[in-house]
Every structure is written in C-alpha cells, then in structure tokens.
Structure 1
Amino acid sequence: MAGFNFIALLLIAAASTMATVTGPVINQDFPDPGIMSYGGVLYAFATNGNGYNIQVAQSTNGGSAWTVLAKDALPNVGSWATTGATWAPAPLSLGTNSFVLYYTATNPSTGSHCVGAATATTPTGPYTPRSSPIQCQQAGGGAIDPSPFRDTNGQLYIVFKVDGNNLGGGGSCGNGNLAYSTPIMLQAMNADGVTPNGNPVTILDRSAADGPLIEAPGLVHIDGTYFLFFSSNCYNTNLYDTSYATATSVSGPYTKAQAPVAPFLLTGQFGLTSPGSASILPDGSLIVFHASTSLSPLIRPMYISHPTWTSSSVAP
C-alpha cells in the first residue's frame, strides 16, 4: 500500500508539472483580459460586464487564485465615447502611483470604435479618461484591442487592430467574403503613455488561413525575439484561436508561426473552446486569456498559461 501511495503521489506531481494551462481562474464572464504586475500583486482587467464599463480583479498568489473586485475601473468612458461596448482593456504601470489603462469604446459620431487611454494613481483606479482618443482609423473600420509594449531601449508602444471586418461584407464576423484587411498596427508613444509619437505602421495582417480577421495583439520580447500574439477567426465560433508571429525588429517584418508550433492555443487543447485574447507579462512568465464555456449565451472566463519559450517558438 505504501508503494502504491508513493506512485500515486509521483503521478499527481507529474500531472501538476504538466498542467501549464489552468482554469478557469476567474469562473465568470471576464473576456479580453489584460494583465499587469505591480508591487507583488497581479491585476487583470476585462471587457464591460457585470454592470461595469471595465471589470477588474487581483491575485496575490501569482495568478492561481483571483478576486474580482466590486468596482468599475473606468466609471467614465470619456466625452468622446459612449458606454455599452467598452472592450479589451490593457493596463500599464509607468512607475510609482502612475498607471495607464488603454481601452476600446464606441465613438458616437461615427458608430465605430476608437482606442482611448485613461490614467490613475492606483492600479485598480478609478481611471480618468483623456479628452480624445489615441486612434480611430475610421476609414478602415475603427481601432480596437490596444496593448502596451516597452522595448529594451525604453521606447513605449501600443499595438492595436484596425477593425476592417466592421465594414461589413457578410459572413463570419462581418468579413466572410474576406474583402477587408484587419491589420495589426504599431504606434510609438511618448513617455507619458497617452500621447502618440508619429504615425502607426502596419506590422501584420490576416491571410486567408486566418479567416475573416486577426485581432487581440500582444507583444513581448524574449531572448532577442519579438513575439506578436494574435487571435484569428471569429470570437463567437469554435474556430477562434491564438497564434503568434516572430521578428528580430519591433517593426518587423513578422513571420507567422506554422504547424506544428502554431497555433499557440486552439479548441480542443486543454479542454478549451475558442481560446483567445492573450495578454502577456513582460518577462513572459504568465499569459492570461479567455475561453468560452458557452457560445450561446457567450460566456468567456479567464484562464492562465505558464508558457515555455525558445528563441523562435513558444508553447503553452
């Protein structure tokens, strides 16, 4: 019996070691999570829900357990925006008592989305929005899914998606005929985190293999390689997945990873359905993302991954 117990313990330990994807760690609708580490605490922000424009949660044990806070991180979406579709928040710490929250909201004058920024003196806010958006890209369908990145030389950027499938065309996510581009853009930012520096540049776009779109970019630099995460296909189908592209320069050119090292996550892996919208800690130690536990109604709790990196690939 003692020998049996010892073997059982070894099997449990091995299973624990292999369990690189865990969740749901927030077992309620908490889509498009953005993560930040500050003062030994992890903070995650999510798309509007549960009566809040921006949901916020925190973890004091490295991400395995989370507390969803009973507060709105962004009570006011800004004079340029309307409430009801405040998406994909992404937090950034600029240092002691200085934080930026990037987010997506609807511009009522155009009906499309813009990327905005808000600032706060505490990690969970409340964040105060700037008086005007950072990017709108109206002609391209709007701007969504911002995510910050600080390069090794200290230069700050955001990446975001031009929402081409918002222009219509029918089919999956409004772009089933693949008529419109959905490029991922790189925008340099001033040190204040809220002022654009120059014009954005395209660093990636969808191909036919990606379905109607690519979106939800996230950028990280690991061992000399820039890894640009993105999701493809439509968020409300089980084809939605997470993949990545790599480059040796922040502005590219980026090369999409191919099988067998991609996609990074897809339906069927780890019991997941429609895993997407990955957000990465700058050191690459933790990735948060959502996956669907119900497609109708759409419910997307938050999961975590402790990835394994090489100089050219990443595995969950």
Structure 2
Amino acid sequence: MKKLSISLLLLLLVCSAHAQQAVIRGDFADPSVIQVGNTYYAAGTSSNWAPGFPVMKSNDLKTWKQTGSIFPDLTEWADYYYWAPELNYENGKVYVYYTAHKKGGNLCVGVASADTPEGPFKDHGPLVCQEAGSIDGFPIRDENNKLHLIWKEDGNSVGKPTPIWIQEINEEKTALVGEKKELFRNDTPWEANLVEGVSVIKNNGYFYAIYAAAGCCGPGCTYATGIARAKSLTGPWEKFEGNPILTGQGDWMCPGHGTAVKYQGKNYFMYHAYDKSSNKYTGRQALVRGFEFTPDNWLRFTDEFLAPAESPKTYTATDDFDKDKLDLQWCWSVFNKPAFELKNGRIGMQIKDDRELFIARRIEGPNYEATVETIPAKSAMTGVALVGDEKNLIYAVAKQDSIAVTLVKDGARSILGKFPVVTKGKNLFIKMQVKNNTDISFHYSINGADFTPINIAKPDITFLPPWDRAVRAGIITKGTEGEVGVVEKFVFKNQ
C-alpha cells in the first residue's frame, strides 16, 4: 500500500511538471509574437484599457517582462476596443496591424510602425473599415513576394457569416490596393457563428492558415483552433477534415487566436486560453505549444509546451511611487484617463467629475490581496478597488472620518456600508482580499499591520468582468471635481 502511494505521488508530480502553464499570466488575449535578433517581443489585446497594447520581451518564449506599450496615448482616430495587435518585422522596421473602433463608425484594421519593437510607434491610421466591422489584420507575402493583408469581416456582430478577406497592400504598408478576395468563411458546424484570428505560415509549397472559430469569451466559450491550406495565397483554400486540431485540454479551455514562431529550430504557436479554475476573472492567458508538419502536408499540435522554469504563484509587487513615471503595471479606462502627479513618493489623482477615477493592474489567479496606503482628506475619498470596467466595480474608500464600501453594477451605485474611523492625522491602510475569484472582503488599519474587518454582507461580484476582459485590482478616488486623492503606497500579493 505504501509503495502504491509513493508511485501515485511520483506520477502526480511528473504530470504536474509536464502540465501546460501560461507564459504570460493574466489578461493577455490574442497574443502576437515576433523575433528580432535573439529577442522575442509579444503584444496582446488591451480592449478598453489604456495604454493600448502592452508589449512584452523574452529571450526564450518562456519568461516575459513588459517593456511598455504600443500606444501610451491612444490614437486620434479610434476611441475603444483596441484588439488583436499583429506584430510584423520586415527590413529592420516593426509594424503592428491592429483593430480599434473608429470614432463615429465601427471596427477597423489600422497600422502603425516603429524602428524597434519597444517604440515609439507612429500611427498611420485605418486601412479597412467595413460596415459590419473589420478585425484581426494579418500581413503576409504571397508566392510572388507581393504583400497582402488578411482580415475578418465581423459579420457575426450583425447575425451574418464571417468572410476572411485578402487584399494587396502597398510596400509602405499604409493603404490597400486592388480588389479584395474571399479566402473562406464559417461553413462547418464546429465553427458555429464565426471564423477569425487567422495566422498564416509557409511550408513545403503550402500556405497554412491557423484560425480560431466559435465563441471566444467567458465561461460559456466554445473557442477552438482549425487549419486550412492552399498552394496559392489567394486560394483556393482547403480546410482540414479533422478540424478542430486544438481544443481544451488539461487545465485550459477555449484555445485560439495566436501566432506561429520558431525557437531553436522548432515550430511553436503562441495563443490564448482560459484557466479552468479562474476563467473569466483572470481572462485569456498566453500559452506556447509546439506543432509539426505531417507527411501528408498538414499541421498538428504536439504535447511540447514551453513554460517558465520558475513560475511562482505567490509573489508580492509593491509600488512606492518614487519614480518619475507611472509603473508599467498600471492601466486605466479608455473612457476616463486620470490626471495624476508623482511627487515625494506619492501619487495624486485629480478628480474630474462625479465618476470613479482609477488605475488598476492585471490579476493572475483566483486568490490575491491589494492594500492601498492612503493619506485621508477632508472630502476626497481614496482607497482600493476591484474593477471590471468603468460601470462595474466594487471598492472601499476613506476620508478623514469614515470608510465606505460601494458596489457599482451597470453604472448604478449601491452603498454596502459606511463606517466611522478615527485617523488622528495618520495614514490609513485599506486592504481588499479575494479568494476563489469571488469571495471578497475589505479591511482597514492605522499602522499597516493590525487590520480590522469592514463588516458588510457578502456581495455578488460575478457580474464584474466584461465579456472580453478580466477584473483588475487597483487604486480608486472619488469626490468633488478638482479635489485630489493621494496615495503613499500600493501592495499587491498573489496568493
């Protein structure tokens, strides 16, 4: 019996060691990756969070560090839904083909360029804007070395099919030329209402389109990955009879929308999927998996997974606001950019109107806590928040004489509790704890060590994440226009 238990334990350890892990944990959907020299760069969807499109850097596709973002300030022509940045490196220059919502219009594919993947990027505006919307741009050269753009017409948004189009693009990468042509569309049962996220590679005289289909997002997602091939880039295209070739496996569900890349002579695919345990709360995370070409000239995924050698689930990240720039972990709503000042090891955020003003960071698992050290004011209220978006959040904020907990659902505010507190001119620490994704509690302390629970009825926060994003934890302030909420320190602990 003892021998059996030891054998079982060893088997579990081996399985755990070979289980697939995210290379970029937390909300990093639609990842695109390029190699420049010996370095890899990846960018992911930011949607309605700004800055637009975080950029990560790695030497091995396993361990990544953020270097910045493609659009520190959003583009002039687009207002929201910054999706699917597709990086492209050609002739010493970096291009990004991206989706965004045109002001007064619909979704379009735009392009920007830079001399290095770390920017700065110059935006060149939209390339294609169809009535139903145009998304998921991908550049590729054909068998005659002519550059083309492949994209999806967003027909599913209006109850129609989703053609994948191709059209030649000029060498300056600033305009489409000629006529568009359809490559394929959703026409098989597993693809359901859409095909999208096409990534094209070449091998042995074939072009291969790795594409996603079905429902992308949320706990009811049905996303999966298929393959099609053609001898000529413009077709005809043939879909693999065994599609889908990548579906949910192990700890991960709804895999899709990625980019093929080589590492040490082998083929890999960087894509997103949901962790089954944290699902919509952590969002779509980036994974890397191997693939190979078959003797009959198709493509299949292998069970070779790349993952960090060390991937700690428990860590602490602290921001003392002692730099002259805001740390890269922070983001904010595209609809409400904060005016802030970093001075004397503090951040001050100026309140603009009666809306909540916040900065927040990605979470990476179902259990975490965030503590904000505030400098209480007479009327400006500052504290800690869990944010889905600007209309769906929960937070605890304080001023000199009280703490209040508020729930915002679809823009409607509910006060969950208001409690007196005596700060005696000292800083106030407000802590938010989250367990198992949705079990949330708040606490406060005068000395930063001894915390008192803020007693409220257990709130339902399952509604918080938007359909295409995860929740974020951060700092929030609220009050009268012109007032300033001041914070001394922020501590985030992943547990």
Query: Shared fold (TM-score greater than 0.5)?
Result: yes
Which of the two has higher C-alpha Rg?
Answer: 2
Corresponding residue SS for 1:48: coil
Change (3 A) 1:246 1:109: same
User: How far 1:88 sits from its partner (Å)?
Assistant: 0.1
Q: How does 1:76-95 map to 2 (within 5 A)?
A: 76-82=73-79, 84-95=80-91
Q: Residue 116 of structure 1 corresponds to which residue in structure 2?
A: 110
User: How far 1:149 sits from its partner (Å)?
Assistant: 1.5
Q: Could you list the runs of 5+ residues in structure 2 that have no partner in the other structure?
A: 1-10, 302-495
Corresponding residue SS for 1:286: strand
- Residue 75 (1) aligns with residue 72 (2): yes
Corresponding residue SS for 2:69: coil
Equivalent in 35, 41, 44 of residue 42 of structure 2:
44
The letter for the 2-side match of 1:302 is A
Corresponding residue SS for 1:274: strand
Equivalent in 245, 254, 264 of residue 237 of structure 2:
254
User: How far 1:152 sits from its partner (Å)?
Assistant: 4.5
The letter for the 1-side match of 2:162 is T
Q: Structure 2 CA distance, aligned partners of 1:215 and 1:56?
A: 22
Q: Structure 2 CA distance, aligned partners of 1:86 and 1:308?
A: 32
Tell me if structure 2 keeps the 8 A contact 1:53–1:75: yes
Equivalent in 267, 271, 280 of residue 289 of structure 1:
271
Which portions of structure 1, spanning 4 or more consecutive aligned residues, are displaced by more than 4 angstroms? none
Q: Residue 239 of structure 1 corresponds to which residue in structure 2?
A: 222
The letter for the 1-side match of 2:287 is Y
| Cα deviation 1:48-88 (Å, max 9, x = unaligned) | 16642111111112x1221123x221224432211x31000
Corresponding residue SS for 2:62: coil
| Cα deviation 1:289-313 (Å, max 9, x = unaligned) | 0001244336011001121112521
Farther-moved stretch of structure 1 (275-284 vs 120-129): 275-284
Change (3 A) 1:252 1:15: farther
- Residue 302 (1) aligns with residue 286 (2): yes
Farther-moved stretch of structure 1 (50-59 vs 298-307): 50-59
- Residue 212 (1) aligns with residue 193 (2): yes
The letter for the 1-side match of 2:174 is V
Change (3 A) 1:162 1:284: farther
The letter for the 2-side match of 1:28 is G
User: How far 1:39 sits from its partner (Å)?
Assistant: 1.1
Number of aligned positions between the proteins: 281
Q: Structure 2 CA distance, aligned partners of 1:46 and 1:142?
A: 20
User: How far 1:284 sits from its partner (Å)?
Assistant: 7.5
The letter for the 2-side match of 1:202 is E
Q: Structure 2 CA distance, aligned partners of 1:133 and 1:208?
A: 31
Q: Structure 2 CA distance, aligned partners of 1:151 and 1:270?
A: 37
Q: Residue 180 of structure 2 corresponds to which residue in structure 1?
A: 200
Q: Structure 2 CA distance, aligned partners of 1:128 and 1:284?
A: 33
| Cα deviation 1:209-255 (Å, max 9, x = unaligned) | 11111111111111111111111111013311111111111111111
Q: Could you list the runs of 5+ residues in structure 1 that have no partner in the other structure?
A: 1-10, 168-174
The letter for the 2-side match of 1:41 is T
Q: Residue 315 of structure 1 corresponds to which residue in structure 2?
A: 300
Tell me if structure 2 keeps the 8 A contact 1:100–1:194: no
Q: Structure 1 CA distance, aligned partners of 2:228 and 2:266?
A: 15
Change (3 A) 1:162 1:244: same
Equivalent in 181, 187, 193 of residue 167 of structure 2:
187
Tell me if structure 1 keeps the 8 A contact 2:257–2:271: yes
Change (3 A) 1:156 1:22: farther
Q: Residue 35 of structure 1 corresponds to which residue in structure 2?
A: 33
TM-score (norm 2): 0.53
Corresponding residue SS for 2:128: coil
Corresponding residue SS for 2:173: coil
Q: Structure 2 CA distance, aligned partners of 1:73 and 1:161?
A: 22
| Cα deviation 1:97-147 (Å, max 9, x = unaligned) | x2111100001222x2000000111112221111x3100111xx1100111
Q: Structure 1 CA distance, aligned partners of 2:266 and 2:138?
A: 15
Change (3 A) 1:235 1:40: same
Q: Structure 1 CA distance, aligned partners of 2:53 and 2:62?
A: 21
Equivalent in 123, 127, 133 of residue 134 of structure 1:
127
Tell me if structure 2 keeps the 8 A contact 1:33–1:277: yes
Corresponding residue SS for 1:297: helix
| Cα deviation 1:242-297 (Å, max 9, x = unaligned) | 111111111111111122xx212112x24320101021138972211000124433
Tell me if structure 2 keeps the 8 A contact 1:220–1:284: no
Tell me if structure 2 keeps the 8 A contact 1:272–1:292: yes
Identity of aligned residues (%): 27
Corresponding residue SS for 1:165: helix
Tell me if structure 2 keeps the 8 A contact 1:242–1:265: yes
- Residue 266 (1) aligns with residue 244 (2): no
Tell me if structure 2 keeps the 8 A contact 1:76–1:128: no
Q: Structure 2 CA distance, aligned partners of 1:284 and 1:114?
A: 34
Change (3 A) 1:114 1:15: same
